[in-house]
Amino acid sequence: MTKRHLHGATLECVQGDIVHQPDMESVVNAANAELRIGGGVAGAIHRAAGPGLERECRPLAPIRPGQAVITGAHNLPNRYVVHCLGPIYGIDQPSDMLLASCYKNALQLAEQNMIASIAFPAISTGAFGYPMESAVRVAFKTIIGVLPRLSSVKYVRFVLFHHADVRVCEDVLVDLMEENDDA
């Protein structure tokens, strides 16, 4: 769980639950198009946030794959929730571009709202079937690509539910940071 520093920001991968990130100003929901309570991350976030979150989400739905919207965090210990609809792997095409859009749009919303810290789950890697390693590679490539243009966002955390995925995430991060050094 090493922290990495790049372009004045900190990046890290941790094992945990996205609803238990009290030191993060914002958390990201791996949302469904209707922005309703669901399984996985969307279920955990809506249960922890309470019914006020679904009420706030209603007029913002539906969203398209790659899109992101922002709401308050209600009973979660954060200020904001950024809701992203990831692509269904192999069905919403091109999946890699749509997944990259999720991260770009989420970071853009964070920037517009002067958010300093954001915690992401591994969008699309659960019910939507995206292989973890490829998904994390798209995620970090996108994050590292936009970091130089961000001024508010100083802390990006990746929260992995399963311990084994933390290793995958860290290996990809180290690999991409080395590529970035070489460039």
Q: Which stretch binds ligand ADP (CB under 6 A): 14-22, 66-74, 106-114, 170-178?
A: 14-22
- The residue among 80 and 150 lying less far from ligand ADP, judged by its C-beta, is 80
Among 120, 128, 140, 158, binds ligand ADP (CB under 6 A): 128
Question: Do 98 and 128 form a contact (C-beta atoms < 8 A)?
Answer: no
Q: Is 103 in the site for ligand ADP (CB under 6 A)?
A: no
Establish if 30 lies at the interface with ligand ADP (CB under 6 A). Answer: yes
Is position 87 an interface residue for ligand ADP (rule: CB under 6 A)?
no
Contact positions vs ligand ADP (CB under 6 A): 17-19, 30, 39-42, 44, 86, 121-128, 159, 161
